[in-house]
Amino acid sequence: MLVFVIPFAVWFALCCFAGVRSKTLSNGAIEPVVFGFDVPVAAFVRVAIGTRISDRACVTGLIGAVSAVSVVVYFCVPDLPE
């Protein structure tokens, strides 16, 4: 269930505390939706992997991957006009 919280918290922390780029309200409405599509993909990967690797390694890797996607989305999406 942490995959529903951690990537959004990482993205929110970048928006609020990093101060690298000024994001607009349009970015705040679109960017979470973009990397939110990775949550079901991570669930499908989890099911596909099954018991081939340990549960802890699978969960850690998938949460890390979805969080990395949220960071990439933050830096790759340009500042959108409001």
Residue 27's Cβ-count burial label (10 Å; 0-12, 13-18, 19+) is buried
Q: What pLDDT, on the 0 to 100 scale, is given for residue 20? A: 66
Give the tokens for residue 69: 């996607």
pLDDT in tens, the chain (82 residues): 888 899 999 988 888 887 666 778 888 888 889 888 998 999 899 999 878 898 899 989 999 999 999 999 988 888 888 7
Q: Which of 67, 69, 79 is nearest to 27 (CA)?
A: 79
C-alpha–C-alpha distance, residues 8 and 23, integer Å: 15
C-alpha–C-alpha distance, residues 67 and 11, integer Å: 8
Q: List helix spans (H) across 1-82.
A: 6-13, 25-36, 38-49, 55-76
